[in-house]
Amino acid sequence: MKIKYVISAITGCLLLFNMLCSAAAAEAELKRKVDSLFVIASSGEVKYRDMVEPAMDSIAAIGADAVPILVDKFTTKSARERLTVIEILKRISSPAVPYLVTALKRSNGLVVQRVCWTLGDIGDTTAVEPLIGVTGHIRWQVRDQAIGALGKIGDRRADKVVAFALNDPISQVRKAAVVSCGKLTIENSIDQLIHALGDEFYGARLCAVGALLKMDTSKVIAALVDSMESINDLVGDLACYILGEFGTDEAIELLLAQTESPDAVRRAHAVVAIIKADPQDNCGYYQMLLDRETDRLSRLKILSAHYSLQNAR
């Protein structure tokens, strides 16, 4: 009887061993296939030019099984290979998300930041909470990509962490936060975005302009009223541009007040914004403001803006 049990146990072990060997062999074959296709998909050689897209499609057709192999390639130093991995994962789309989410827990920060990038491009909302979980990552590149990804996905659950990132000590992360605030239209961040108009990083400043232009016009103008006289001149100067883009009566009124500023640069910004808001000079402000300006450089800016608009028409 004991011999029978021993034989049965041995048989079971052999079957398990064969199954494990078969699984290992299948996994190795899958990796060989993906690696072989990836060489072509990521190649910049002319001879593979017409094979790149089919190779990417072939890997994407494998689906979720190919994802772990692709994620391992995120350690590459090649920009072409990195972008190829992202493009293939985008084509796999939502089936790739579960594994990508687990990859956010990896210790390799380089892999994590690229996974964040990919999740943002895929845009699946199931990745929102996991991405929120890495917005406080010690590696600023991860924070940058995670905040940017949340903006791309567009889920309002991310509002608080995105707005919080506006105060990040790293300028690139602040820029990502500004862009995402605009994409999510987080109107509670209007005051912070106005403050960002004076950011030391030009990328954050200019993106703040774009973000504010996406917000409710009346709310932005109301918030700008108290910011035009900021000790940071950049805030008021860029605010003039925003007001010119809005072009409402309230915006023009604020700009007219700035045309009387003792600062010649501010006056120029204000007048140029008025000209852009009223390119046909229906209100008749152009000549009056030009005649009143005494600073030669400011006059030149005003004349240049008017000339450009007339020629553009």
Q: State the pLDDT at residue 14.
A: 53
Q: 254 CB contacts (<8 Å, ≥6 apart)?
A: 221, 224, 225, 228, 243
Q: What DSSP state is assigned to residue 168? A: -
State what percent of residues in the chain have pLDDT above 70. Answer: 91
User: Is the domain of 201 the same as that of 107?
Assistant: yes
Q: How confident is the model at residue 309 (pLDDT cuts 50, 70, 90)?
A: confident
User: Is the domain of 226 the same as that of 210?
Assistant: no
Q: Is residue 39 part of a domain?
A: yes
Backbone angles phi, psi at 280, to 5 degrees: -95, 5
Please compute Rg for the chain using Cα positions.
28
Q: How confident is the model at residue 278 (pLDDT cuts 50, 70, 90)?
A: confident
State what percent of residues in the chain have pLDDT above 90. Answer: 75
- What domain range is 136 assigned to? 93-215
User: Is the domain of 209 the same as that of 228?
Assistant: no
pLDDT > 80? residue 171: yes
- Single out the residue in 182, 200, 215 at which a domain terminates: 215
Count CB atoms within 10 A of the CB of residue 119.
Answer: 28
pLDDT > 80? residue 277: yes
Residue whose structure tokens are 């929120």: 132
Q: State the pLDDT at residue 69.
A: 95
Helix or strand or coil: residue 123?
Answer: coil
Q: How confident is the model at residue 310 (pLDDT cuts 50, 70, 90)?
A: confident
Give tens-digit pLDDT for 292-303.
988 899 989 888
Q: State the pLDDT at residue 10.
A: 58
For the four alpha carbons of 231, 233, 238 and 243, in that order, the dihedral sign comes to positive
Q: Is residue 18 part of a domain?
A: no
Give tens-digit pLDDT for 174-183.
999 999 999 9
User: Is the domain of 202 the same as that of 161?
Assistant: yes
Q: Is residue 273 part of a domain?
A: yes
User: Is the domain of 105 the same as that of 197?
Assistant: yes
The b/e string for 19-58 (b: 16+ C-beta within 10 A; e otherwise) is eeeeeeeeeeeeeeebeebbebbbbeeeeeeeebeebbeb
Q: State the pLDDT at residue 313.
A: 58
Q: Is residue 11 part of a domain?
A: no
User: Is the domain of 109 the same as that of 68?
Assistant: no
Mean residue pLDDT across the chain = 91
Q: How confident is the model at residue 44 (pLDDT cuts 50, 70, 90)?
A: confident
| CATH label of the domain that carries residue 282 | 1.25.10
Helix or strand or coil: residue 247?
Answer: coil
C-alpha span between 149 and 134 (Å, rounded):
11
What are the tokens at 280? 């046909």
Domain count, the chain: 3
Q: Is residue 192 part of a domain?
A: yes
Q: Which amino acid type is present at position 64?
A: A
User: Is the domain of 78 the same as that of 104?
Assistant: no
Residue whose structure tokens are 């060997």: 21
